[in-house]
Structure 1
Amino acid sequence: MTVTEQFATREAVRPAPAAQATVTDAAARPRPVGPGPLAVLADAGLEVPVLGGGFVRHVNLDVAASAPALEVVAQQVTRVLPYYASVHRGSGYPSQLSTSLVEDARLAVARHVGARDDDLVVFTRNTTDALNLLAGAVPGDTVVLDLEHHANLLPWRSRRLVEGRATIAATLEALDAELARTPAALLSVTGASNVTGEVLPIDRLAEIAHAHGARIAVDAAQLLPHRRVDVAASGIDYLAFSGHKAYAPFGAGALVGRADWLDAAPAYLAGGGAVDAVRVDGVDWKHGVERHEAGTPNVIGAVALARALAELERLGDDARHDHEQALTRRLHEGLAAQRGVRVLSGFGDEQGDGLGDRLGIATIELERGSVGLLAAALGAEHGISVRAGRFCAHPFFERTATRANGLRASLGAGSSADDVDRFLDALATLIADGPAHAYDRSPEGWCPRVDDRPRPDFAADFALA
């Protein structure tokens, strides 16, 4: 049966290989020469069940969506939890300690991103939350690119969109022309595409924005976990990022930036902690971070985020960059050798090894067949996590792709050469032979027709008797 028939029929046409054999083969195969994991993650060594029985080591290539916790982050959370309490107004020792932990975390975040002394660090839920907060403070138009994640495309009340050009250089010229044509208050751009991993020149973008009297906000959700960002040195006015992409998936993110717009904006949430005084006929709102952090803050999330950033610093910027770049080359070279696969790219500025400046992200489309089915089979039959879709970046995806959806593999500090090779081997097998099991398409996506994978005991803890 051809590749087209395999993916078009969505039926199993050959007996499934024993999952135990998969485990044996993987264990027997010599470990490839190349970069190993750089960081110790809480999910290191995790084994997941596969269809037909048996377990395999999990390969996490969905890091761009959510990264696992660093082991030191999980340990820190465990240490802090017994002391968790309400903050700022409690008289007891746990409350005072929790208050101190949040404020220390705020200082640690500011230092890690090179914030100016008078910048605010507002803790949020994630990047989307941070950019929505900022959107309520911008006193005028916001200019964005079409390559943005929806988190940096949808919040702005007055948005002017510039379509990316064939190269980054030409795109910068288009942004320059747009800001010169009509003044804007803010240029808001991603630091790196979550679809292709291509990194934008933030310093140059800041220069363009400031030359036209605009400020610049950077969506660093993808960039910050992989590259060091320096707010002051790069001329960034506002920086937004998420803990769950930076190895601290405990529900905290941050907006870092200039205070004046935030102090002049309405409180992001109306509630306790954001006010100096409440009267029957009015409210006196606080200034600074408290103005936008009403309610009980996510103490654990803030602590986890600060601890994760400290650990990334300990690993070293150069070590992380070299590690991920070696794996990125391995991934892209392997994909280039695959038949029936096209790797998406937004720009033609490639230099040297042909990758340009790119994070460890590769999104592919198939010449024929369903990437959704392919992603499901990678997970269910090979224990490899990837993502299929348009990655909450629909305009950019539609400009760069020729098919309706893509499949994204993304690397991180815990990725290894073996992870990349496992993925490339499984991808080649599935494209050549098709899935070993039958799958059905549901509103939630492709799923095995018969899923015999057991769930861990804790997954049933909340089930009704």
Structure 2
Amino acid sequence: MPNLDDAAASEFRPGNVYLNTAAVGLLPARASRAVRSALEDAATGRPADVFGPVEEARASYARIMGVSPGRVAVGTSVASYCGLVAASLPAGAEVLTAEGDFSSLVNPFHVRGDLKVRSVPLERIPEAVGPGTAMVAVSAVQSADGRLVDLPALRAAGAAHGARICLDVSQAAGWLPLDAGEYDFTVTVTHKWLCSLFGLAFLTVPEDFGGLLPLSAGWVAGEDPWASCYGPIGELARSARRFDEPQSMACVAAPRSLALFEELGVEAVHRHDLALADRFREGLARLGHEPLPSPGSPIVSVPGLGGRQPELSAAGIELSDRAGSLRAAFHLHNTPADVDRLLDVLAG
């Protein structure tokens, strides 16, 4: 397994101190080369491989998430896939969500109009699951502040009450070791911690598809896509590919980015990211600042400092202002020097 620091140095060359992966991840050099080559092919009329990169990405993501490729669908957004999950529920079903969770996850359940959507504080999610709960839809890691849901407690509560779980791993996949097979559905985008491009999403489903209907199925969802171009699809794919959506240039980058995480190992990325986040938390304490509690997360949000984001950007440090909190996200391209630079600027 390659050394993480050496691999990161060869793949990433940010032009600043980039601490904004929770918004958009940096593209590795190998993925950038693949996209440039595909663009040149498109500009010169060379035939494009329609399915190869998608299948590579599906297989790689399946290995990272511990499931078979047949349980992985490749689409375009978390919102569209959560719409499929929401559509599978009967009228009147109770859906439990966390207060302030990301809109792309929770809104598809709200717009149904005939579901009982109940929101509680993140810390209370496991205890709030009851015999009347049909589904829990929650992010593994909160976008705003990096807090983690108690995953073991959530799984136990779901099993005890027969509630299905739809877990958004957009802020987790790539740094948090996960087994998608432990949940009914997982969804993620690839442009954050998986360091790919906008416009690509993954959905993992049970072996029996969990009652989902392929409501957006087009020709790529056919068992034989090239025989499914005209008229009703004669036979849908026998795997989760029946939930696939036509892809953009993002599918060219994804296999290269995902391969990097397979080479390094998510566990190694996990250790690296958390060490940097803890270094930042320790430095904040010395400066008299207290971040929002998010133990075990590489996302650190500091209340009251969000207004300093423009100043930090001018100093060559990119991060986010979220609801008045300064949100820093530490990933595999970051180094201790990045942490110390941020602390020095905050110290004035």
Instruction: Give the TM-score normalised by structure 1.
Output: 0.63
Superposition map of 1:147-296 within 5 A: 147-156=100-109, 157=112, 158-164=115-121, 168=123, 171-175=125-129, 179-180=130-131, 182-184=132-134, 186-232=135-181, 235-245=182-192, 246-258=194-206, 260-261=208-209, 264-265=212-213, 267-268=215-216, 272-273=219-220, 286=236, 288-289=239-240, 291-294=242-245, 296=246
Structure 1 residue 363 displacement after superposition: 0.8
The corresponding residue for 1:439 is none
Structure 1 residue 415 displacement after superposition: 0.7
The corresponding residue for 1:124 is 75
Structure 1 residue 207 displacement after superposition: 2.6
* Structure 2 contact 73–203 (Cα < 8 Å) conserved: yes
Deviations 1:389-410 (A, max 9, x none): 33xxxxxxxxxxxxxx222111
Distance across 2 between alignment mates of 1:66 and 1:80: 22
- Matching residue's letter, 2:206: R
Over 3 Å counting, the alpha-carbon distance change for 1:154 and 1:331 in structure 2 is: same
Pick the structure with more helix per residue.
Answer: 2
Of 335, 338, 343, the match for 1:419: 338
Correspondence 1:386 to 2:334:
no
Distance across 2 between alignment mates of 1:376 and 1:37: 31
* Structure 1 contact 67–248 (Cα < 8 Å) conserved: yes
Over 3 Å counting, the alpha-carbon distance change for 1:314 and 1:154 in structure 2 is: same
Structure 1 residue 189 displacement after superposition: 1.7
The corresponding residue for 1:407 is 326
The corresponding residue for 2:310 is 376
Distance across 2 between alignment mates of 1:383 and 1:124: 34
* Structure 1 contact 37–415 (Cα < 8 Å) conserved: no
Structure 1 residue 259 displacement after superposition: 5.8
> Which stretch shows the higher mean deviation, 283-292 or 155-164?
283-292
* Structure 1 contact 38–413 (Cα < 8 Å) conserved: no
Distance across 2 between alignment mates of 1:36 and 1:272: 43
Give the number of aligned pairs.
331
The corresponding residue for 2:98 is 145
* Structure 2 contact 140–169 (Cα < 8 Å) conserved: yes
Q: What is the aligned-residue identity percentage?
A: 26
Deviations 1:231-280 (A, max 9, x none): 22xx11111111101111252121111264577525126x554575976x
The alignment partner of 2:172 has SS state of: coil
Over 3 Å counting, the alpha-carbon distance change for 1:72 and 1:228 in structure 2 is: farther
Over 3 Å counting, the alpha-carbon distance change for 1:144 and 1:375 in structure 2 is: same
* Structure 1 contact 144–162 (Cα < 8 Å) conserved: yes
Structure 1 residue 194 displacement after superposition: 2.0
Structure 1 residue 220 displacement after superposition: 0.4
Structure 1 residue 317 displacement after superposition: 3.0
The corresponding residue for 1:51 is none
The corresponding residue for 1:402 is none
* Structure 2 contact 54–74 (Cα < 8 Å) conserved: no
The alignment partner of 1:39 has SS state of: helix
* Structure 1 contact 42–71 (Cα < 8 Å) conserved: yes
- Matching residue's letter, 2:21: V
The alignment partner of 1:216 has SS state of: strand
Larger Rg: 1
* Structure 1 contact 144–189 (Cα < 8 Å) conserved: yes
